[in-house]
Structure 1
Amino acid sequence: MKIFRLLTPLLLAIVAVLCFAPAAWAFCGFYVAKADTKLYNKASQVVIARDGNRTVLTMANDFQGEVKDFAIVIPVPTLLKKEQVRVAKPQIIEPLDAFSAPRLVEYFDPDPCAPIIFNNFRALGGAGGAGGALSGSSDRSLGVTVEASFNVGEYDIVILSAKESDGLETWLKNNGYKIPQGAKQLLQPYIRSSMKFFVAKVNLDKFNQSGYEFLRPLQISYQSPKFMLPIRLGMLNATTEQDLIVYILSPEGRAEITNYRTVKIPSNANIPVFVKNEFNEFYKSLFQTAYTKEGKRVGFLEYAWDMGSCDPCSADPLTPDELKEAGVFWLINNSSSNVPVFPNFGTPFFSSNVFISRLHIRYTRDTFPEDLIFLQTANRESFQGRYILQHPFQGELKCQAGKEYKRSLPKRFEQEAQTLAKLTNWDIQDIRKKMKLSVGNLTYSLWESFLSWF
């Protein structure tokens, strides 16, 4: 870990005292794995940077198929202008995902017979084109008005208003937008709320000229008191449960969902050391178990932390440039305009007031019938999905403290097995068998004898 090289000798001594407290039987730990979005087959990612009524929303496209078939319709609370829409770098969400992902950390028990001394420590490794011309600035027979039309990067974009969902659905189809059947039913509530519709599809000529292999994220900036994320239209394309990861960046504190429950993912649990090689499967099972237990209509908080620090770090905190690319505007945008604009991406700044909340929602059309409504809070309490491996000491133990330590291990191992079974719903007997194989020579006979009781 990079921070180790920056510690002064005095700080090393202080840390050594803390790490070698004899009652804890613990060595300073290090991060070994993370549960990022690659675990999920169908995971959408959205970044929301918000301060007051200003919002910058970044959408990572998980579209699978021919780009000519891509179309996206997003309800937005205000009329957007071209300067409020941009294409973000394809990699912008990756560092947010890595930084905030649930993580596995590893600790090693010290020799219980060794005297307490100061030690240095080290990490141990651990449709073609635009689909034809638009039908005009207004189609009175359908009740649809084209409020704006422009191109951004490889996307052709129109901003629409509508009076009836039937007319909007017909207009979209007539103008070459491939949208799923049944859209009009879900469009109607947005029309009643006088929301506009941000509609985009790929300009094939510009996409081919760009040289990009995949569609880049779209980023929109607007001002509205509504702090929400429309998810219902996306359910039309869903054939199974969908995973949605929302990264909310704020100068205040933790963000929560107001119209559904927000709960913390189970965390800070000691689990068997064999999970090190099965962490992806472990976390998928843990999330599914928590999702089922909580009644499904919940959003899980997986991470909440000030962006300026982390402990342990699964990845480096984002740089100022990365935060700007993700939409953070409040530290550098001093404009008095009522309409938020994107920051000057050549202007340097230093971030010390960005709080990240990572919310994980697994949803279907039945379990989440409403769009997500968020609330910014002043709660800056840190939280992370963190799972602990505690390796037993493997050396020779002749002192009295060593004998007591040795006798304590079977109970500890069984507690880890029970915890893992509870978190994942895995079979306890299978867990015990795997644990037996992962225990070192010192405790093997003890653990073998203990397992024979079951």
Structure 2
Amino acid sequence: MRPRVLTLLFALLATQLGSLVAPAYACGCGAMIPDGFSRIGVQRETSVVRWDGRTEQIVMRFRVDGDARKAAWIMPVPGRASVGLGKAELFTDLGRLTVPERRTRGYFWPREADWPFSSGSRDGLSAAMPGAGDPSVGVVGREQLGDFDVARLTATDPDALKRWLGTNGFQLPDRLATELRPYVDQKWEYVAVRLAPRDPAKALRGDLDPLRIRFDSDRLVYPMRLSRTAKYAQSLGLYVLAAHRMEPLSPIGGSPPEVAFAGTITPRGSVAELTGSDRPVFLTAIEQEFPEPARIDGDHELRATAEDTPYRRAVYHDELLTVGGVPAWVLTVAGALAAAVVLGLVLIRRGAGRRGARGA
């Protein structure tokens, strides 16, 4: 009895600890830095990548929480970038296109929620960024976009970038400055975004306006290196719109990427606006987990797969098998019992007949 009680207590403790540790979603394209001693957490990042072989566009939307009234966010890009606001309906439209297929799967024996185990009731089935400064940092553009003050920067020295951000009200963590070094060496540029609601008393919470970033690139790359600085497990989700089905070249230190959807679609509405036409395009939805972010060893580079094999994830709804509304197991058990009764009667009659014959 005592081991069973201890097992139950450990299970309850694990459940409580699990409820306290909220999942941290990857800010894969950059890093979020709150001001002062405030805090900000990215609850969810959803990204859409459009690549036509020459130009790459990334549209992202953050869902954040915390008490920060302003924050900075940095994204390294391989070339000169333009920045604008994206459309929130893009994510709704893509989510509708990639919704899993619903399938029904029958089971024979009753489960906990089925009669005779159930009680009869069942739940449903289920401030501006001045461009001052350091000669190692160049400001190539600045725009005010909704709640975002966007500066597009070049930097030949990560320490110079750190000083520039500090001058403009943000403290770049030392570890993040170290992770920027490979981008400086490759002469990448940066999109530095100041997130500040127009109402200064309002904290940054909920879904922020989507940002749309565009740059020239002859390869499809999704910056991930800065997520090495995360303290907790990370989760990445990408919608990729290209000429073919796409896949990452390597897991870059995470679990094997999983395809949630792959198929040719005809763009409409916000999707057509992003692709620039209503001609068919291949959509690949990819999900990946990073249990140990420190193992991330580079950026995602994606390539076309050997074949454009379509795929749609299936969600199964388990349903008790019935015949004419009666559970199949009931009919089977009743039939077996009836057969047993008939067999018993036959055996009894045969036995009685033999005894009568012997008595005669």
TM-score by length of 2: 0.67
Contact 1:104 1:389 in 2 (8 A): yes
1:408-419 pair list within 5 angstroms = none
1:26-425 pair list within 5 angstroms = 42=25, 43-66=44-67, 68-80=69-81, 84-106=82-104, 129-130=127-128, 134-136=130-132, 138-140=133-135, 143-205=136-198, 214-236=207-229, 238-250=230-242, 252-260=243-251, 296-308=254-266, 320-325=268-273, 327-329=274-276, 331=277, 351-363=278-290, 364-377=292-305, 379-389=307-317, 391=319, 393-395=321-323
Taking the aligned partners of 2:164 and 2:46, their CA distance within structure 1 comes to 29
Contact 2:71 2:195 in 1 (8 A): yes
Contact 2:69 2:201 in 1 (8 A): no
Deviation at 1:446, TM superposition (A): 10
Taking the aligned partners of 2:261 and 2:247, their CA distance within structure 1 comes to 12
Contact 2:87 2:270 in 1 (8 A): no
Contact 1:53 1:226 in 2 (8 A): yes
Match of 2:342 in 1: none
Taking the aligned partners of 2:23 and 2:265, their CA distance within structure 1 comes to 25
Indicate the SS of the match to 1:201.
Answer: strand
Aligned-CA RMSD value: 3.4
Question: Which runs of 5 or more residues in structure 1 are unaligned?
Answer: 1-38, 110-124, 262-294, 309-318, 332-350, 398-437, 448-454
Taking the aligned partners of 1:444 and 1:243, their CA distance within structure 2 comes to 48
Deviation at 1:169, TM superposition (A): 1.4
Taking the aligned partners of 2:166 and 2:101, their CA distance within structure 1 comes to 45
Deviation at 1:260, TM superposition (A): 2.8
Question: Could you tell me the percent identity over the aligned residues?
Answer: 20
Residue deviations 1:377-433 (CA, integer Å, cap 9, x gap): 463211122244464642269xxxxxxxxxxxxxxxxxxxxxxxxxxxxxxxxxxxx
May I ask how many residue pairs the two structures share in their alignment?
276
Residue deviations 1:42-73 (CA, integer Å, cap 9, x gap): 34211001111111110111332245332210
One-letter code aligned to 2:236: L
One-letter code aligned to 2:286: L
Indicate the SS of the match to 1:64.
Answer: strand
Residue deviations 1:308-336 (CA, integer Å, cap 9, x gap): 4xxxxxxxxxx6112135x212x2xxxxx
Taking the aligned partners of 1:445 and 1:255, their CA distance within structure 2 comes to 54
Taking the aligned partners of 2:221 and 2:200, their CA distance within structure 1 comes to 30
Deviation at 1:442, TM superposition (A): 3.4
Greater alpha carbon shift after TM alignment, 180-189 vs 84-93 = 84-93
Deviation at 1:74, TM superposition (A): 0.4
TM-score by length of 1: 0.54
Residue deviations 1:360-389 (CA, integer Å, cap 9, x gap): 011132332211111134632111222444
Deviation at 1:359, TM superposition (A): 0.7
Contact 2:244 2:305 in 1 (8 A): yes
Question: Between Structure 1 and Structure 2, whose CA radius of gyration is higher?
Answer: 2
Q: Which structure shows the higher strand fraction?
A: 2
